[in-house]
Amino acid sequence: MASKSSASSNNRLILWLAIALLVVVLDQFTKVLVLHEFQYGDSRYVFPFFNLVRVHNTGAAFSFLAGASGWQRWFFVALGVVATGFILWLLRRHGHQTQFATALSLILGGAVGNVVDRLLHGYVVDFIQLHWAGWYYPSFNIADSAITVGAILLIVDELRRVKRG
């Protein structure tokens, strides 16, 4: 029979994995909508600072390595798989730390969402475009947003930990 602590740890891990899965599902659902409704390069005005677009990113953040000859697809898939394994290991060890585990779950969901794109399409589908007064931020997606929010939560969690120590 599993101990009470072990059962609680497993329940927490299931929660963190459910959050990651929710991110993957939302990310993939929105990308399917964009792929169905938009042609490559299409843009639709939503607000004075926000457009929906369809962009394909063969690189990483800010199109890093997008101009490479194709090897980057498998490099980023491998990187995502390694990151997934490391995050799962961290969640098993630190699932009791709510903010830390929430951050990792968001990052995990975002990483998996973008790996799915690379495997299915060879590129990541980006569709959120923020802009103001002629300035345009690079397009991104739900997975990227989850990774960013997760990274911010990790920083805040670490700053709190340092402040307490």
Distance CA 27, CA 124 (A): 11
Q: How many other CB atoms sit within 10 Å of the CB of residue 116?
A: 18
**Backbone region of residue 139 per phi and psi (left: phi > 0; alpha: psi in -120 to 50; beta: other values):** beta
What the block records as the tokens of 110 is 């975002």
Measured CA to CA, the distance from residue 40 to residue 45 in angstroms comes to 16
**Any idea which residues carry the catalytic annotation?**
126, 144
Which residue's entry shows tokens 């968001």? Answer: 106
